[in-house]
Amino acid sequence: MIEDIRRLEDQLDAAEQDARALVSGLSEAHGTWRASEASWSVAECFDHLASTNRIYVEAMRGPATQALKSGRRGALRASPGFVGRLFIYSLEPPVKPRLKGRAPAIIWPRTSVQLADAFSAFSAAQTELRGFVQEYAGIDLSGVMFASPFLKHLRISLASGLYMAAAHERRHLWQGWNARRAAESQNGMESHVAAIDSRGTIS
């Protein structure tokens, strides 16, 4: 296995561990809580990642399969190209206000998605993404191009797409942690106020 593939799999491993930690001990109420109408809950972050990963894998599979059939084997590296590195930088957390954009409607989270359902969808899409990496690790990931499913006319390498998917996961897991902390903090404040209202004293 070339070092670039090992590095990519390490990033996916880290994302999975972070995702499990994010949902550990998280209640449904906190997992679906939104700070505002414009923000996403933890569940919505997972649902968004699941949709994005599925669509990316679907877009990459055709060119990857063709490369495998034609015997286009990999070089010594499978690293992102220049355009891919720019996108990866823009995706890395913490979110950079000047680089913040609105997700395409096709990958918006489902309405009223439940935490367990969203996490299950994320886990399934993550398994599919990891399977893609393992199946096509031997082809020329840096040289085979595919059309972005979200940006018209943009073509990037498979390696760029895979590393962008990993960076995108880090971005929204970071967002999910922010949502969890805000939900738990809000709940703590509400409980504190309720205690004052019921007893007339600060508990």
Q: What is the pLDDT of residues 145-203, one digit of tens each?
A: 999 999 888 999 999 999 999 999 999 999 999 999 999 998 754 443 333 333 433 32
Count other C-beta atoms under 10 Å from residue 47's C-beta: 27
State residue 199's pLDDT score: 40
Six-digit token pair at 85?
């590195």
Helix locations, the chain, DSSP H: 3-23, 28-31, 42-69, 82-91, 115-135, 158-199
Name the token pair of 192. Answer: 């504190």
The whole-model pTM stands at 0.88
54 vs 31: CA distance, rounded Å: 22
Q: What is the model's pLDDT at position 72?
A: 81
Joined together, the tokens standing for residue 77 give 């590296």
In the prediction, which pLDDT does 188 show? 57
pLDDT score at 97: 73
For residue 191, the model assigns a pLDDT of 40
Query: How would CATH label the architecture of 3-199?
Result: Up-down Bundle (1.20)
Q: Are 56 and 49 in contact (CB under 8 A)?
A: no
Regions in the chain scoring below 50 on pLDDT: 189-203
**92 within 8 A of 21, measured Cβ to Cβ:** no
